[in-house]
Amino acid sequence: MQKKATTSRQRRDDVLALPIVLDPAVRSQSLQVHGALRTGIVDGLLVPGLRLPSTRVLAEQLGVRRNAIVAAYEALLSDGLVEARHGAGTYVAAQLPTPRTPVPAAELDIRIPQTRPFALGVTLVDPVVLKRLAAASRRRIAQAAPADLGYADPRGSLHLRTQVARYLAANRGVRCDPSCILIVSGTQHGLRLCIDALLKPGDAVWFEDPGYVASRHTLSTTGARLVPVPVDNEGIVVSAGEKADATARAVYVTPSHQFPTGVAMSMARRIGLLDWARRANAYIFEDDYDSEYRFAGPPLTALAGIGGERVIYLGTFGKTLFAGLRLGYLVAPPALVARVVAARAAQDRFPPAFIQDALADLMADGVIAAHMRRMRPRYRQARDVVAEALAKHAKGLLQLSAPAQGLHLLATLPPRTPKGAARLIRERAGIECRLLSDARLVQRGPDGFILGYSGFAAKDLADAARRLGRAAQEVLRDVGASRVQKV
């Protein structure tokens, strides 16, 4: 009689084969079983009131240890997803949330820049610097004091802020106390903090036209109302900005190396911009874009170095070293520091300390300065390779602007070039670059190509320039030479 009851119970257990799959990436068997059962219950595969197999039978079915099943059942009991009935076994709980409906993942239009010639933001990575940075990071972690492992100053490492203050004073003419510097994860992060701290949605902001695309997106997504202000060979046209909206609350500029034209803002324009900011009680967001690499003469004095009370200065190590480092800095006037720090503390509290201190060690030892001295002639050579190859293969159809600093140059098409020709040329050449039209808020004048030349071998740059020059000839010939004037 006892044997018949046992056989009947085994038959009931054997009939049920649970539709679950264990995740082999999870090392613990109990966690594998618990996760699989939890998913089955929440998704409705295991219905309320369903009797689960005994621990012995399920262990045999899944090929795991029995104590893993016991631990998984106990965890499910704690979750409230199953209930134990004395002498009757374990059942899926009678009351459960409505099973979730599978929703396909959204198709996100995320454009990750490629690292082909002419892409922007690519730098030459020096193995020596990487080795020194890795060693400094390991040393900082191994020697960390208890204070280094807890919550930190929202402004970032004092060691790095001190080194940045010394660098800015010596190279950019910006004299500031380390207490006014914040270490951020990049220029756009710093810009976002300034917007959150100083502006309201709907505030008008002057924006260079053409201007830096990433910063335009940052300002737009925060609700700023962009006022396009044209740029000429002296930089942003202040009089045009005043005519468009004299009461704007801020202006975003790249005065030392304007993106994308490469011009440096004249002193007359700098003074005019600072005077307007004082009169309008407005802020100047100075993005010191690509200022680290000047090929002729000493570095230019930053706007913050000649009138800092209205200027928030933004810089990055992304071009000095590499973008993946994700370290930048902003310098705020003393009266604004508390507001920007409060915005930082409300977002991500503070940046990680170890990599900051490691980078500061390299700055203090002169490693970063030596790296920049080595890179300048290499980037200048890369610029010249592109300019010479384009001049040879474009046959006068591209007007080149090769500035005395920075990591990109601008090549513009002739006047009266048909709309859309630039995109067709880029596609036919098979190159990775921004179009000049992408950087414009108001479409005027001929289109062109913003060509990054840093971070690539000279041979690859020459080949890409050859393809671009020939594609320009072919496309402009196909669309009708009569509609195109040589520059």
What is the tens place of the pLDDT at every residue in 420-454?
999 999 999 999 899 999 999 999 889 999 999 99
> What phi, psi does 451 have (nearest 5°)?
-110, 110
Cβ(40)–Cβ(49) below 8 Å:
no
Give the pLDDT confidence score for residue 119 in this predicted structure. Answer: 92
Which residues lie across from 328 on neighbouring strands? 184, 316
CATH architecture assignment, domain 372-483: Alpha-Beta Complex (3.90)
> What phi, psi does 25 have (nearest 5°)?
-70, -20
List alpha helices for 176-237, DSSP H: 187-198, 213-221
d(CA 232, CA 209): 10
Res 477 pLDDT > 90: no
Q: How far is CA 305 from CA 181, 232, 340, in A?
A: 14, 23, 20
Mean pLDDT score, 123-139: 94
Quick one: which of 214, 254, 191, 220 has its CA closest to 403?
Answer: 254
Strand 408-412 relative to strand 434-435: parallel, antiparallel, unpaired? unpaired
- Which position has the higher pLDDT, 104 or 432? 432
Q: Which helix (H) or strand (E) holds 428?
A: helix 421-429
Res 105 pLDDT > 50: yes
Query: What is the chain's length?
Result: 487
Looking at residue 384, the DSSP 8-state letter turns out to be: H
Cβ(265)–Cβ(235) below 8 Å:
yes
Statement: 2-92 belongs to CATH 1.10.10.10? yes
What is the tens place of the pLDDT at every residue in 8-59?
344 444 445 788 889 889 889 999 999 999 989 988 889 999 999 999 999 9
Cβ(221)–Cβ(363) below 8 Å:
no
Give the pLDDT confidence score for residue 403 in this predicted structure. Answer: 78
Indicate the range of 19-28, 69-78, 217-226, 407-416 predicted with least confidence. 19-28
* Placement of tokens 């080595």 in the chain: 374
CATH architecture assignment, domain 151-365: 3-Layer(aba) Sandwich (3.40)
DSSP secondary structure string, 236-277? E-HHHHHHHHTT-SEEEE--SS-TTT-PPPPHHHHHHHHHHH
Cβ(435)–Cβ(358) below 8 Å:
no
Domain residue spans in the chain? 2-92, 151-365, 372-483
- Read off the amino acid at residue 169: A
Query: Which two structure tokens, joined as six digits, stand for 461?
Result: 């740059």
Indicate the range of 52-56, 212-216, 402-406 predicted with least confidence. 402-406
Give the pLDDT confidence score for residue 480 in this predicted structure. Answer: 63
- Percent of the chain residues past pLDDT 70, beyond the cut: 92
The model's pTM is: 0.83
Question: Burial level of 25, CB count in 10 A (0-12/13-18/19+)?
Answer: exposed
Give the pLDDT confidence score for residue 13 in this predicted structure. Answer: 43
Strand 283-287 relative to strand 311-316: parallel, antiparallel, unpaired? parallel
* Phi-psi sector, 416: left (phi>0), alpha (psi -120 to 50), beta: left
Quick one: which of 315, 337, 302 has its CA closest to 197?
Answer: 337
Query: Which two structure tokens, joined as six digits, stand for 412?
Result: 């513009």
d(CA 383, CA 362): 28
- Read off the amino acid at residue 361: D
